[in-house]
Amino acid sequence: MKLNGRVAIVTGGGGVIGAGVAEAFSREGADICIADLNPAPEVLSVVERAGRRAIDVPTDVSRKDQVTKMVARTIETFGHIDILVNVAGITSFGSAATLDESEWDRVLDTNLKSAFLCSQAVIPSMREHRFGRIINLGSILGKNGGNARPWLDRAEQTRSGNCAYGASKAGIHALTYYLARELAGDGITVNAVAPGPIASPMTKTFPDALKALIPVGRLGRADEVADAIVFLAGDNAGFITGEVLDVNGGMWAD
């Protein structure tokens, strides 16, 4: 059990990837705070059936006051925090030409600001215990300028992630690099996982023409992302920090 006795916060724990992370973590021995905008009783039950302790703390992770309360509740319940996985996020589709300012703000607040606020909130507990793992959910779209090819077919852009989403995920990658350097001396590693297209409600409209460009021939699965996060959270990854690990079926290599 790679995470036996560890305490983890999983934001976005009610979503497809977040729930996959919570399940994988509980299977590896971690106790978990599930922090999603809405209650996630099904995920809570999965963790408890694995024999681990869990709390479900509905939280708007883009608001500092709610993040502070969620982290305090976790420490009150479990005594400390070992692992933070910043999964919470939303997608945004369409072109830059039609992107509304309010949508830009909504995406950046939910995807990037939330990861900063949650990371900032757990640093004191991790520093106190000289151990921590912060793992952020990046994206291939923070690297490749988007999967769509609007110069061939503008319809691909209307059904693909737009520049607000890509900018938020590129910001996640930069946040990972900065925190990794700042916290390395405290026994805290900071890494990210950058998935390609993952089968979920978010990718139901993913164009077939773009699916055909995935070298392994299929969309990814949430459990494949979760397994990568388990590795980065474990003791065997203690010499890895500031890394953005691609899990994208060969769509992008760097």
Q: Give the residue numbers annotated as catalytic, written as ranges.
A: 165
φ, ψ (nearest 5 deg) of residue 35: -120, 95
Q: Residue 231: how many CB atoms within 10 A of its CB?
A: 16
Q: Residue 170: how many CB atoms within 10 A of its CB?
A: 18
Tokens found for residue 240 = 């890895």
3-class state of residue 199 by DSSP: coil
3-class state of residue 109 by DSSP: helix
Tokens found for residue 52 = 């681990």
φ, ψ (nearest 5 deg) of residue 241: -150, 150
φ, ψ (nearest 5 deg) of residue 97: -65, -30
Asked if residues 1 and 28 have their Cβ atoms less than 8 Å apart, the reply is yes
